[in-house]
Amino acid sequence: MADSNNKVNVHKGHRQRVKQKIAEHGIDVLHDHEILEYLLYPFIPLKDTNPIAHNLLNTFGNLYTLINTDADAIFNVPHVTKDAALFLSSLSGVFKRCLQVNSDSKKVFIRNVSDAATYLHSVTDGLDVEVIYMLCVDDACLMRAGYLMASGDAASCKTEIRNYLRKLDAINASHVYIGHNHTTGTPMPSKEDNDFTRRLNTALDSIGITLADHLILTDGGRYFSYRLNSLLEDAL
């Protein structure tokens, strides 16, 4: 029998190799579990974070669900420290803050459907869950705010209409663009999409705000526009 002290440690230097890969190619080349184990390095310095990362993904399903989970639930996963759980649960708020644009930050202008589609693709491409955004635009075409309104599967993504109206209370917006991604690869609207568009259009009209468009997006720059397909009025 071989001496156990002579066994090769396959994980020796693993952290440095992951860091080198990021330095040379960017974090996009990593698998989800590799990204997660990298994020855990500063908070779990003395353990191999690879099995912990796999366990977290097995527990919560994907990175998106994980970072939208409260810290206590994450901490319940074996070998996750309190600091690591707090850090992971805070990432969703950080990302949402980055997506919110107002007059005090870098100005973004949404002048037409093409501008809206370009912006929305920048935040939805590559996601494996369905998300829905609302872009709030004023009369000068300045984007006052961009909100992640909901996330989940196709059936649960449409949040309550009143949440959209509540977000608009404090925003000087005259019209909004709604965008959500289809993870199926086809941007064609479903009956549920049409129903949602109709209800939102009616609600926005009641407070004097125009639904400029509802865009359904898929990876690779493809999108379906209710406005360009003359379906927005039909949805009323």
What value, to the nearest 5°, has the Cα angle with vertex 213 and ends 101 and 157? 75
Q: What is the pLDDT of residue 9?
A: 47
Helix (H, G, I), strand (E, B) or coil at 211: strand
Query: For residues 157 and 112, what is the distance between their CA atoms, to the nearest angstrom?
Result: 25
- Provide the pLDDT for residue 6: 47
Mean pLDDT for the stretch of residues 24-53: 89
Q: Which of 148, 145, 150, 147 is nearest to 110 (CA)?
A: 145
Q: Cβ(40)–Cβ(83) under 8 Å? A: no
44 vs 22, 49, 86, CA distance in Å? 19, 7, 13
Mean pLDDT (whole number) for 114-133: 89
Find the distance separating the first CA and the last CA of the chain, reported in whole Å: 77
Helix 32-40 vs helix 82-99: crossing angle, to nearest 10: 120
Question: In 79-158, which ranges are continuous DSSP H helix?
Answer: 82-99, 113-124
The candidate with the shortest Cα–Cα distance to 62, out of 22, 94, 92, 27, is: 92
Query: CB-based contacts of 219: which residues, under 8 Å, 6+ apart?
Result: 125, 126, 185
Looking at residue 31, its pLDDT comes to 86
Amino acid 157: pLDDT: 56
Distance, CA of 88 to CA of 110 (rounded, Å)? 32
In the predicted model, is pLDDT for residue 105 greater than 90? no
Instruction: Using the predicted structure, report yes or no on whether residue 33 has a pLDDT greater than 70.
Output: yes
Distance CA 131, CA 94 (A): 17
Closest alpha carbon to 215 in 177, 158, 173, 174: 177
pLDDT at 123 over 90: no
pLDDT in tens, 52-92: 999 999 999 888 889 888 999 999 999 999 999 999 999 88
8 Å CB contact between 158 and 191: no
Structure tokens at 16: 């440095």
In this prediction, residue 231 carries a pLDDT of 85
Q: How does the average pLDDT of the chain come out, rounded?
A: 85
For the entire predicted model, the pTM comes to 0.58
pLDDT at 208 over 70: yes
What pLDDT, on the 0 to 100 scale, is given for residue 13?
Answer: 79
Mean pLDDT of 217-228: 92
